[in-house]
Structures are given as structure tokens and as C-alpha cells.
């Protein structure tokens, strides 16, 4: 995440389009807000829309606006979100869900920096920083013919892949404490070591959004210390083997991996998981797996497992 934010800081004041790729709930909207708020457009409008939540028949009018009388229910003129965001930034979430017929008009707007309202006759000049987000690799949709390749290249100028929470376990305690302070600002709440370990071990299929909702649920019933029995059942009962399989599902599904590659991926996750569970103490991690320290270290080198907070380790 530090690398991602460093990369964003380098290009944040440019007008280049940014594409955020990551699973649902991984924090793409928060990063989009960070991009706008740290850019030279921070004091200008920031408009966001989830394209998956908008019916296709209303989307064109919502994005580009319409003139009075453009269609039956258009009793008044309406500004579209691009016009509202003029001089600022617009965040199009779930760009992978945008209908083909809207893709054509969106591409024209991005290329000409002009938009035409539904039913309009005069183009409107706009100056907008575009940030888009997708929950899947858009190249797959391009290959399937349901996403225009020219639009893909237009929005994919600066892409950032946001890793799921299960691949950034060092963030879990930090995020948990942040959400605790948010939902319980006037009363300090601690967490027991066992409960924290259960949180770290959980696979978080809903990512940061699931963690936030979990904290909100927990603090409704806990006043002082969060214990293991206070956690939701799915977090307390997740099997470690199931976690390892889940951790590899994305690689297996998207990477067309062979048997040996899947085994290597599982072993990498097992090694890293043992280190996380033992606070990156290699001796304790090796003992937890029944390995000698020398064998454990050989495997760390073989599978390129290192502590992200200690790059020189």
C-alpha cells in the first residue's frame, strides 16, 4: 500500500486518467478520494457514481445531462455529473458494468473534452480529471467483445492494482483500531491477543468493507475489551486449511496455473502465514510448522517470502 500511495503521489497533479483495479470492498473509493484530495483540484468538485447501481436507460442522462423535453419525463433541463464535476474530478466506480452504448459516448467525451446533453444541440466544454475503478481485469471484457478496446486504452493510462485485505494482513490491526476509534471515539476499547489473531487469520472475502462492518457490529455489544467470543462466528470458526485454499483461489482462477504452481502458491501462503501469526519471528514460525530453522529459511528464499516492513531482512 505504501508503494501504491507513493506512485499516486508522483502523478496526482497530472491530468492523466487513473484506473483502480481491485476486488469489491478493497478500498478503491477511499483511494479515489485520496487522489482528488491531494491533487491540485482538491478545492474543486469531486463527483462519484457507481455505474452498477444505475439502470442503463437512465445512465446517459445521469452522466451527460438532458435538455427539457428530450424524453417524456424530461420536464426540466438537467446537468449531468460530468458537467457538475467540471474543473474537478469524477470517479466512475464499476466501470466494468458500463453498457456498450454508453461506452461510445463516454469515449467521445474523454477524447474531445466536450459533452452533448441528451436532446441537446450545442457541445459543452469540460475539464475533468477521470478516475475509474473495476473489480475485474478489463482486458478480459475487451477480449470477450463487451468492452471497447479504445475506451480501455483511454482510461488505462495509469493503472493501480489494489490488493485484497487477505494479501495485506499487516493492515488489519491498523484498520481495526482506526474503525474502533471511529465508532467508539469517546471510550478506549482494547482487543485480546487471541481475538486479534483470529482477525488476522480470517480471509476477509468482503475486504476492508467487511472489516469495517464487523467492527461496527462488535462495538455495539462490547464496552472495554474485545475477546474471541465477541467475534462473529465465521471469523472464529474459519479453518486454516480453508484459508490457504481461499488465498490461492484468485491465482488459480485468473492465472491458468499448473499443479506445481498451485502447490508453490499454497506453500508460499503457508510460510508467510506462519510468519504473520508469529510476529515475523522465524524461529517460532519454523517451530509452528515442524521445520528446522535452516530448512525454513531455505524455503523463505526459495519462495521469496520477506517481511514487507523490513525490506533488507
47: which DSSP letter?
A: E
Helix 170-183, helix 207-219: angle, nearest 10: 40
In angstroms, the CA 135 to CA 79 distance is 28
Q: Which helix H or strand E contains 199, and what residues bound it?
A: helix 193-201
In angstroms, the CA 184 to CA 177 distance is 10
For 204-216, give the secondary structure using H, E and C.
CCCHHHHHHHHHH
Contact 108, 44 (CB under 8 A): no
Instruction: Enter the CATH code of domain 2-161.
Output: 3.40.50.300
Q: How far is Cα of residue 6 from the mean position of the Cα atoms in its chain?
A: 16
What is the DSSP secondary-structure string of 214-254?
A: HHHHHHTT-SSEE-GGGS-HHHHS--HHHHHHHHHHHHHHH
Question: pLDDT per residue over 67-97, tens digit each?
Answer: 776 666 666 778 889 999 999 999 999 999 9
Burial label, 43 (beta-carbon count in 10 A; 0-12, 13-18, 19+): exposed
Question: How far, in Å, are 68, 105, 180 from residue 72 at the CA level?
Answer: 9, 22, 49
Query: Residues of the chain whose pLDDT is less than 70?
Result: 69-75, 238-259, 308-313
Question: pLDDT per residue over 91-119, tens digit each?
Answer: 999 999 999 889 999 999 999 999 888 77
* Through-space distance between the first and last CA atoms of the chain, rounded to whole angstroms: 19
Classify domain 165-236 at the CATH class level.
mainly alpha
Instruction: Enter the CATH code of domain 241-302.
Output: 1.10.10
pLDDT at 268: 82
In angstroms, the CA 240 to CA 201 distance is 8
pLDDT at 243: 57
Planar angle of CA 161, 163, 164, nearest 5 degrees: 140
Q: Torsion angle of alpha carbons 140, 143, 148, 152, nearest 10°?
A: 50
Domain boundaries, the chain: 2-161, 165-236, 241-302
Amino acid at each position: 500500500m505504501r508503494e501504491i500511495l507513493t506512485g499516486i503521489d508522483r502523478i496526482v497533479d497530472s491530468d492523466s486518467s487513473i484506473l483502480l483495479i481491485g476486488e469489491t470492498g478493497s478500498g478503491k473509493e477511499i483511494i479515489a478520494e485520496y487522489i482528488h484530495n491531494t491533487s491540485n483540484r482538491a478545492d474543486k468538485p469531486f463527483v462519484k457514481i457507481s455505474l452498477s447501481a444505475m439502470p442503463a436507460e437512465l445512465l446517459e442522462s445521469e452522466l451527460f445531462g438532458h435538455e427539457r423535453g428530450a424524453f417524456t419525463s424530461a420536464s426540466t433541463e438537467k446537468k449531468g455529473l460530468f458537467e457538475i464535476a467540471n474543473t474537478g474530478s469524477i470517479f466512475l466506480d464499476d466501470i466494468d458494468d458500463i453498457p456498450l452504448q454508453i461506452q461510445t459516448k463516454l469515449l467521445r467525451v474523454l477524447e474531445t473534452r466536450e459533452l452533448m446533453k441528451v436532446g441537446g444541440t450545442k457541445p459543452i466544454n469540460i475539464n475533468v480529471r477521470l478516475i475509474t475503478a473495476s473489480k475485474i481485469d478489463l482486458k478480459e471484457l475487451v477480449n470477450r467483445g463487451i468492452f471497447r478496446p479504445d475506451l480501455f486504452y483511454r482510461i488505462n493510462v495509469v493503472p493501480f492494482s489494489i490488493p485484497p485485505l487477505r494479501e495485506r494482513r499487516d493492515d488489519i490491526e491498523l484498520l481495526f483500531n482506526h474503525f474502533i476509534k471511529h465508532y467508539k471515539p469517546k471510550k478506549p476499547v482494547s482487543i485480546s491477543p487471541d481475538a486479534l489473531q483470529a482477525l488476522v487469520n480470517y480471509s476477509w472475502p468482503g475486504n476492508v468493507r467487511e472489516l469495517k462492518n464487523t467492527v461496527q457490529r462488535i462495538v455495539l455489544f462490547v464496552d472495554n475489551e474485545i475477546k474471541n467470543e465477541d467475534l462473529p462466528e465465521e471469523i472464529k470458526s474459519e479453518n486454516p486449511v480453508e484459508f490457504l485454499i481461499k488465498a490461492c483461489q484468485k491465482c488459480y482462477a485468473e492465472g491458468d496455473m499448473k499443479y506445481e504452481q498451485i502447490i508453490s502458491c499454497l506453500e508460499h501462503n503457508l510460510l508467510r502465514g506462519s510468519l504473520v501469526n508469529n510476529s515475523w519471528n522465524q524461529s517460532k514460525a519454523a517451530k509452528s510448522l515442524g521445520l528446522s530453522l535452516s530448512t525454513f529459511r531455505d524455503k523463505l528464499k526459495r519462495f521469496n517470502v520477506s517481511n514487507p516492513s523490513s525490506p533488507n531482512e
